[in-house]
Chain A
Amino acid sequence: MILNNRLSAEEYEANFSDIHPPFDKKEAALVEANRCLFCYDAPCIKQCPTSINIPKFIKQITTDNIKGSAHTIFDSNIFGGGCSRVCPVEKLCEGSCVYNLMHEDPIPIAKLQRYSTEKAIKEKWQLFNRKPSTGRRVAIIGAGPAGLSCAHGLSREGIDVTVFEKEAKGGGLMTYGIAAYKVTPEFCQDEVDFVTSLGGIKIEYNKELGKNISLGELKVQYDAVFLGIGVGLARQLEIPGEDLEGVVDAIEFIYNLRSKTFNQIPVGDKVVVIGLGMTAIDAATQAKRLGAKEVTIVYRRTQEEMPCTQVELDIAMLDGCTIKWLAAPKEVIGEEGKVTALVCSVMELGIADTSGRRAPADTGKTFTLEVDMIIKAAGQTPFKQLVDQNDLQNAGGKLVVKNNATNIDSVFAGGDCVNGGKEVVDAVQAGKDGAKAILEYLAMADSEVKMMNEIEPSAFNSFQNPVPNL
């Protein structure tokens, strides 16, 4: 049965408390910070999509220069606080820490990053100064990591930025799409406030592209537009019974979970999650933490090919979720319009597909799981219709860009809507790159204007510009 309010307030609180608690004391942070070898041309920096100077910020913790440490982080990644909580560091910075090569625990980079950034956000440190306004105006669509990172980069250079956000809150997937035990709504709000505290960034909420704003209008009103619209549509299974009551998609499930109180979120007794990406893990673990009795994850390949990290898988396993490997959903069975079972095909791995992973093939055998709720987490698809409507060049919905510029003049893009859905930290870098591309675009436009202004008088006055006479 699908029910909400399964647990007591205390149980909800315990189940959704911070999965990676911060250092509770300065001394504890210092022990780890002092372990850092301060590598030169450090592997951890190279593995960070935003290239945070990690050894430097850690060294700054040891010298009691927390403000400097926070500046080092935020200067490369304005979402350094959120990334310290949600980054799959085991495959990024921490995964490349040289201590791994000595078979010792890597430096807890994320935890140290959280240590510095948390203090900065809590104390509301003004770490950046905005240059005087240039009078240039840029519109950004989407107040997620890509959009706000772009906004921050632009505003620092004196660009006046307006961000249009379809939801009632900023933060994008940070706020609406990640497990609650990683980031709290309060933190997400604080982080958005921290980004915008620079000044020059106005966010207009409940404004959605294609509904109450249009790209055409924005192009006219602003000097440039940046699209950070993300992805957001759940990939459909396209199997019989998919429309039965009790079949939900993970994005919607997590969205609800993140925007309501935990006791408002209904969950089944026997839940199946389809897929094994980060979102699948977030859905499975949270279903369990909401009080589901059994949670089974169905994945069509093996552990070798799984898209989530081992750390994420371990969270699900420790939460008591079961994994069915080499199983693909074949048909959803229901009674009276409600889900009762999921028939799965038994798969085997064949030759490598385009992703380089061995492709699963149906063996013809099946098995049936008794379930009352199915959460689909088989990937997300871009807003294909939306981008087509706006004549934006795309590949299956993913925007095609060159140096963050779309096929439309003055319109730029970055983040999940371009890469199809990667980590928050990738979106932050895409926002930075987008800001750089826009600044170059505006500078070029400025210099063209300047040239126009200079050429005319100089053409008549050889004293001011003697070059033509030579």
Chain B
Amino acid sequence: MADISANFLGIKSPNPFWLASAPPTDKKINVLRAFEAGWGGVVWKTLGSQVKNVSSRYSAVNYNGSRVMGFNNIELISDRPLDTNLREIEECIKLFPDRAMIVSLMADNTRESWHELIKKVEDTGAHGVELNFGCPHGMTERGMGAAVGQDPEIARMVVEWVMEKAAIPVITKLTPNVHSVVPTGIAAVEGGSNALSLINTIQSVTGIDLDTFVPNPYVAGKSVFGGYCGPAVKPIALKFLATISQDETTRKVPVSGIGGISTWKDAVEFMLLGASNVQVCTAAMKHGFRIVEDLCEGLNNWMDEKGFATINDFIGKSVPTLTHWEDLDINYHHVAKIDQDKCIHCGLCYIACEDTSHQSISLAYGKPYNTYAIKEEECVGCNLCQLICPVENCITMEVQRKGEEYLNWKDFQRLGMALNDH
């Protein structure tokens, strides 16, 4: 059995799965249920200035019958009294001393407010704090949340205020509502932040009610931009994470990966791109805390299979494989191949290629089943047919290199090689 325990800035947890700062970590009852279910840690829902939440708060994007492919919320930070939250945090730590307890913070924009809040949180025995520079709705109108994260200089200043006071590790959570997360990431690290976490939610409008004409979520005839999360945002999160893992300043600190993680596979992908642990929210909101069981078991089995003894053995392993386009090997070429024994004659590969790609699949009429085959000389190896084929391993990509040697675009130009003639 592999060791899946995690050590993030000295904060230990039996597994690398934390619940992200969100409604599931808003109260003692939720957090105790999460710990009982087996979660390694929680980031307590953001504490800070007093707010009031509205109804409704969530909306979702469904896809082809699958519900909550994407999830959106307009909930603000915790609307419970600060003292209640602090007391409950303390109680949870005492009941589950082996789990990580991080507290998310978003104080008013003054040094004093931050110092006062940090003092109170540290008194609970919490293991660390996470600075919420990412909330994209509501709080931004008061100059907080993403409004801080979107401006590296403000972020640096707030991190510096925090570091003046904090005795426990500080994680800065980054907003994806920027062209690049790297500038704020650098500012936070230079400001002294011990770690980064990303991504927070992405500003969104998930949909509009075609009867009322009001976007959702609906609040008395109006709506606001919300924060998008769930499986739909995972690819965006992975990209932002990769940029943090590639930058020479930000890669020096541990990163907690967030953004649409639903399965152990998702978690492994984040860790392969440099996350030291991961945070989960939407998947738990959709299925309950019990999903942590398979997160742990799946990770464990995969690590055993790959021969990884600890999670540190694979964290960041995929980062070096992300390169610049101009360094890609132009001589690499593969073409699609259809396994006629597996083909079910649905024609999806054909019509996709014929209408939208390179007319590289032939159709031989049959009643009722047509036969489809690849025209190898036309195939550019784009993968489209393989991606849409509903049968596992029916379409495979066969490597047919154009040349033995590695050849990149720069060399290609330098050698004056011929472009495509179509």
Contact = CB atoms under 8 A, between A and B. Distances in A.
A and B held together in a complex: yes
Interface of A: 30-31, 33-34, 37-44, 46-47, 62, 96, 98-99, 101-102
A102 B369 contact: no
B37 interface: no
A96 B370 CA distance: 12
A42 B368 CA distance: 8
A163 B220 CA distance: 57
Given A31-B65, A62-B64, A96-B368, A43 B391 contact: no
Interface stretch (B16-24, B296-304, B328-336, B339-347): B339-347
Interface in B309-360: 344-348, 350-351
Interface string B349-380: 01100000000000100011110000000000
B207 interface: no
Given A46-B367, A47-B368, A102-B391, A40 B348 contact: yes
B65 A37 contact: no
Most buried by B among A30, A40, A99: A40
Nearest to A44: B368
Interface string B31-73: 0000000000000000000000000000000001110000000
Q: Which of B64, B344, B370 lies at the interface centre, i.e. has the most chain A CB atoms within 10 A of its CB? A: B344
A102 B351 CA distance: 21
A43 B369 contact: yes
A41 B363 contact: yes
A34 B368 contact: no
B97 interface: no
Contact of B368 (A33, A43, A99): A43
A98 B344 contact: yes
Given A46-B367, A47-B368, A102-B391, A40 B65 contact: no
B390 interface: yes
A31 B66 CA distance: 9
Contacts, number: 44
Contacts of B348: 37-40
A258 B364 CA distance: 47
A40 B64 contact: no
A168 B255 CA distance: 80
A33 B350 CA distance: 22
A34 B65 CA distance: 6
A41 B366 CA distance: 10
Nearest to A93: B368
B20 to A, nearest CB: 30
28 contacts: A30-B65, A31-B65, A33-B65, A34-B64, A37-B346, A37-B348, A37-B390, A38-B348, A39-B345, A39-B346, A40-B347, A40-B348, A40-B350, A41-B351, A41-B363, A41-B370, A43-B345, A43-B368, A44-B368, A46-B367, A62-B64, A62-B65, A96-B369, A98-B346, A99-B344, A101-B344, A101-B345, A102-B391
B385 to A, nearest CB: 12
Nearest to A27: B65
B344 to A, nearest CB: 4
Given A46-B368, A96-B368, A41 B65 contact: no
Contacts of B390: 37
Given A39-B346, A47-B368, A102-B391, 5 more contacts: A34-B65, A39-B347, A40-B346, A41-B347, A62-B65
Interface of B: 64-66, 344-348, 350-351, 363, 367-370, 390-391
A40 B367 CA distance: 13
Contacts of A40: 346-348, 350-351
Nearest to B347: A40
Nearest to B64: A34
The 5 closest A-B CB pairs, nearest first, are: A40-B347, A43-B368, A34-B65, A40-B351, A98-B344
A44 B347 CA distance: 12
Contacts of A33: 65
A46 B391 CA distance: 22
A39 B363 CA distance: 14
Nearest to B352: A40
A64 to B, nearest CB: 9
Contacts of B351: 40-41
Contact of B347 (A30, A42, A62, A96): A42
Nearest to A39: B346
B331 to A, nearest CB: 33
A30 B67 CA distance: 12
Contacts of B368: 43-44, 46-47, 96
A432 B344 CA distance: 31
A62 B369 CA distance: 25
Contacts of B66: 34
Contacts of B347: 39-42
A33 B65 CA distance: 9
Given A40-B351, A41-B370, A102 B344 contact: yes
Contacts of A37: 346, 348, 390
A101 B391 CA distance: 10
A416 B351 CA distance: 38
Contacts of B370: 41
Contacts of A43: 345, 368-369
Contacts of A42: 346-347
Contacts of A41: 347, 351, 363, 370
Nearest to B343: A101
A99 B348 CA distance: 14
A37 B347 CA distance: 10
A44 B345 CA distance: 11
Contacts of B65: 30-31, 33-34, 62
A99 B363 CA distance: 20
Contacts of B344: 98-99, 101-102
B264 to A, nearest CB: 26
A326 B350 CA distance: 48
B172 to A, nearest CB: 41
A132 B220 CA distance: 48
B199 to A, nearest CB: 29
Contacts of A99: 344
Contacts of A98: 344-346
A298 B363 CA distance: 46
Nearest to B65: A34
In this complex, the member of A31, A34, A37 whose beta carbon has the largest number of chain B beta carbons within 10 angstroms is A37
A99 B347 CA distance: 13
A38 B368 CA distance: 15
A46 B346 CA distance: 13
Contacts of B391: 102
B48 to A, nearest CB: 41
B64 to A, nearest CB: 5
Contacts of B369: 43, 96
B367 to A, nearest CB: 5
A305 to B, nearest CB: 23
A150 to B, nearest CB: 26
Nearest to A45: B368
Nearest to A64: B210
Contacts of A62: 64-65
A349 to B, nearest CB: 29
A348 B368 CA distance: 34
Nearest to A38: B348
Contacts of B363: 41
A33 to B, nearest CB: 8
A101 B345 CA distance: 9
A44 B369 CA distance: 9
A66 to B, nearest CB: 14
Contacts of A39: 345-348
Contacts of B367: 46
Contacts of A102: 344, 391
Q: Which of B66, B363, B369 has the most CB of A within 10 A?
A: B369
Nearest to A48: B368
